[in-house]
């Protein structure tokens, strides 16, 4: 088995309208990417993740970004309570204060697409939440814990 990533590449020929190709080339140049292929692969990964969000049972990893007003009563408490119902899906969270009494919170999440959407729906119900966005990927985090499995000799994880 070869570990050379270039050996695992497949070629694809695509015909595009000239204007669309021109816009793609401008984007590649603006982002200083080495090739069109890299940009097209990124766009395809993004669309595949969006497509997977609608697939029942698809397990996804991603981030939920929230903007909310901290001056609205117990917003942070309500958000924490909503997250508590999704303890298996919420891996970590980061909170920062923004200007004008706003807060930004980012949740690292992983789980079935339905559960991630349900989490967003619950967070969206909290009064004071101004914006919420879920961005997903089909690539998953490695298992954090091996429940019920014996640890392999010599594989002790030092964290």
- Surface-to-core class of residue 93, CB atoms within 10 Å of its CB (0-12 exposed, 13-18 middle, 19+ buried): middle
Confidence (pTM): 0.69
Lowest average pLDDT, out of 42-51, 60-69, 74-83, 110-119, goes to 42-51
Of 114, 53, 62, 115, the residue nearest 88 (C-alpha):
115
Cβ-based neighbours of 2, under 8 Å, separated by 6 or more: 8
Helices (H), ranges, the chain? 18-30, 36-53, 75-84, 113-124
Q: What is the pLDDT of residues 10-32, one digit of tens each?
A: 998 999 999 999 999 999 999 99
């Amino acid at each position: 088995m070869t570990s050379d990533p270039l050996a695992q590449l497949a070629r694809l020929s695509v015909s595009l309208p000239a204007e669309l190709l021109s816009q793609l080339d401008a984007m590649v140049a603006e982002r200083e990417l080495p090739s069109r292929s890299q940009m097209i692969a990124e766009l395809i990964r993004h669309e595949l993740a969006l497509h997977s969000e609608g697939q029942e049972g698809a397990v996804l990893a991603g981030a939920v970004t929230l903007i909310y007003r901290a001056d609205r009563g117990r917003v942070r408490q309500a958000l924490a309570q909503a997250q508590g119902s999704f303890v298996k899906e919420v891996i970590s969270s980061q909170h920062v204060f923004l200007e004008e009494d706003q807060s930004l919170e980012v949740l690292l999440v992983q789980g079935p697409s339905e559960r991630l959407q349900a989490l967003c729906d619950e967070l969206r119900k909290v009064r004071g939440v101004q914006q919420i966005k879920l961005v997903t990927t089909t690539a998953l985090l490695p298992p954090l814990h091996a429940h019920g499995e014996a640890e392999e000799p010599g594989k002790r994880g030092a964290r």
